C-alpha cells in the first residue's frame, strides 16, 4: 500500500494543483481535509473537485462551534488584539485546523501532512507549530518551499499544470485579492493594497459590509449579555456564541463597523499590508471590555491588559499548543468569574457608542463616585494620601533646590 498524506484542502487553485503534484513527486495517496470554520459557500463543490484532481478521499469537518468556543472566546475573554488593530481572525483558526488535520492523519494512518501556505507568510508557522506540538512524528510538506520540484509561481502556471494533468477546473488567471474567511472575519491582501501609499478600493474589496459613508443614516442599538465573560444573549435572546457572532456580523457590516487597514509585522520578519473586516468581533470585544471596566479592580484590569498583549502575540505566532498559552488562559479565566452583565451599544456609521452597562458585580459605587459627600469617602482624607503619594517628588525637588543654592 502507498503511504498517505493529509492535505489541508480549501478547494482553491493552490491546493487543487498540489494534489497531482503530491502524487507525482511523492507517490502518495492524497486524502484531502477541508475544515469548515464558517467560510460559507466556499465549501460548495469541493468533493467533486478533490476527486477530479486525484484525491482518494475528502473529509469535510464542520468545526464552527468548536472554533468559536475553544479558540475565539478565549481571545475575547483576553481582549487579545495584535498590534492594537488585528483581531486575530486567521491566527485563531489555524490551531483549530492543525488539530483536526492531526486527528484525521491518525485515523487514516497517514505519515505526512501537507499545507499550501507560502514561504513568506505566517500560516506556515502556525500550521507547523501546531502539528509539531501534537504529532512530532508526522512529516510536514510545504510545496511552496520545495523549490526544486514546485516550479509554479503564478496562477497561470498552476492552471497550465492542472490542464496538463487532465484537470479542467473553473479557475481563470485573473488576479484578485488574496482572502481568508471564517466566521470571525475576512482578510484581504494583494492588488492595490501591496502599496501602502494607495487607498483601498473599498467598493471592490468589501465582502461583509459597507463603508461608513454608505451605512444607514439611522443608528441601531444592540444589547449583549455575558455570563462569566462569555456572550450568551443578543438583544435579550439567548443564543450560542457562534450564532451571536453571525448576527453581529450582519448588524456590524450594515453599519460599517469593524473595517481595519493595517501594516502589520509578520512572524517571518517582513511588514505586510492588509484590510480586515471583523464587524461582529469588533462589537463583541468592545462590549466585553466595557463590562470588564465596570467589574474588574484596578490592579487586575491593569495586569490583564499586559497579559492581553502577550496572549495576542502568542496566538499570532502560532504558539497555541504551549504551556505559556495554557497558563495565561488560566489567569484570564480566573478574572472572568464575575464578568456578568448587559452592555448596550449604538451602531452608527462605523462607530460603536456606549449606551449603558449594568452588572450585579459592578464595583462602581455612586455614593463614593458622586460629587456629594458619601459615608464611605471623606474629602479631607485625600490630603494625607496626596502628601504620602507625592512624597518622593517633593523630596527630589527639595534636594535639587538645595544643590542649586550652593
Active-site hit among 14, 29, 36, 180: 14
Using alpha carbons only, give the angle 22, 28, 39 rounded to the nearest 5 degrees.
Answer: 60
CA-only gyration radius of the chain, Å: 26
Contact yes or no for 125/318 (Cβ under 8 A): yes
Contact yes or no for 95/71 (Cβ under 8 A): yes
Specify whether 29 is catalytic. no
d(CA 378, CA 235): 41
Among 245, 129, 249, 121, residue whose Cα is nearest residue 189? 121
Active-site hit among 29, 36, 123, 180: 123
Active-site hit among 94, 126, 181, 273: 94
Specify whether 225 is catalytic. no
Q: Please, which residues have CB within 8 angstroms of residue 330's CB and are 6 or more apart in sequence? A: none
Going by the DSSP 8-state scheme, the letter that residue 380 receives in this structure is T
Contact yes or no for 34/43 (Cβ under 8 A): yes
Active-site hit among 65, 69, 155, 178: 178
d(CA 392, CA 406): 22
3-state SS, residue 279: helix
- Residues known to be catalytic: 14, 94, 123, 178
Amino acid at each position: 500500500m502507498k503511504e498517505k498524506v493529509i492535505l489541508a484542502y480549501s478547494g482553491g487553485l493552490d491546493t487543487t494543483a498540489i494534489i497531482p503534484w503530491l502524487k507525482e513527486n511523492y507517490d502518495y495517496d492524497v486524502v484531502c481535509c477541508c475544515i469548515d470554520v464558517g467560510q460559507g459557500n466556499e465549501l460548495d463543490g469541493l468533493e467533486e473537485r478533490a476527486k477530479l484532481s486525484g484525491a482518494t478521499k475528502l473529509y469535510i469537518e464542520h468545526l464552527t462551534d468548536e472554533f468559536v468556543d475553544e479558540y475565539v472566546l478565549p481571545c475575547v475573554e483576553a481582549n487579545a488584539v495584535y498590534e492594537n488593530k488585528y483581531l486575530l481572525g486567521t491566527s485563531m483558526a489555524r490551531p483549530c485546523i492543525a488539530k483536526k488535520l492531526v486527528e484525521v492523519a491518525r485515523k487514516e494512518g497517514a505519515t505526512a501532512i501537507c499545507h499550501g501556505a507560502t514561504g513568506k507568510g505566517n500560516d506556515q508557522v502556525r500550521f507547523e507549530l501546531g502539528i509539531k506540538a501534537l504529532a512530532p512524528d508526522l512529516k510536514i510538506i510545504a510545496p511552496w518551499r520545495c523549490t526544486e520540484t514546485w516550479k509554479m509561481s503564478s496562477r497561470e502556471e498552476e492552471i497550465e499544470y492542472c490542464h496538463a494533468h487532465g484537470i479542467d477546473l473553473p479557475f481563470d488567471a485573473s488576479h484578485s485579492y488574496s482572502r481568508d474567511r471564517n466566521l470571525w472575519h475576512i482578510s484581504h491582501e494583494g492588488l492595490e493594497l501591496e502599496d501602502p501609499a494607495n487607498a483601498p478600493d473599498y467598493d471592490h474589496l468589501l465582502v461583509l459590509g459597507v463603508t461608513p459613508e454608505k451605512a444607514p443614516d439611522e443608528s441601531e442599538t444592540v444589547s449583549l449579555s455575558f455570563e462569566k465573560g462569555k456572550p450568551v444573549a443578543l438583544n435579550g435572546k439567548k443564543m450560542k456564541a457562534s450564532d451571536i457572532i453571525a448576527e453581529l456580523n450582519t448588524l456590524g457590516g450594515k453599519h460599517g463597523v469593524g473595517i481595519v487597514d493595517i501594516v502589520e509585522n509578520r512572524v517571518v520578519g517582513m511588514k505586510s499590508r492588509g484590510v480586515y473586516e471583523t464587524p461582529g468581533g469588533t462589537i463583541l470585544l468592545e462590549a466585553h471590555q466595557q463590562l470588564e471596566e465596570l467589574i474588574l479592580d484596578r490592579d487586575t484590569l491593569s495586569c490583564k491588559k499586559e497579559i492581553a498583549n502577550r496572549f495576542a502575540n502568542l496566538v499570532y505566532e502560532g504558539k497555541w499548543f504551549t504551556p505559556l498559552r495554557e497558563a495565561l488562559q488560566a489567569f484570564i479565566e480566573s478574572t472572568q468569574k464575575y464578568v456578568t452583565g448587559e452592555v448596550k451599544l449604538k451602531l452608527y456609521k462605523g462607530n460603536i457608542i456606549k449606551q449603558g452597562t449594568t452588572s450585579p458585580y459592578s464595583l462602581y459605587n455612586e455614593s463614593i463616585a458622586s460629587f456629594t459627600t458619601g459615608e464611605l469617602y471623606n474629602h479631607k482624607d485625600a490630603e494625607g494620601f496626596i502628601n504620602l503619594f507625592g512624597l518622593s517628588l517633593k523630596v527630589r525637588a527639595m534636594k535639587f533646590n538645595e544643590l542649586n543654592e550652593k
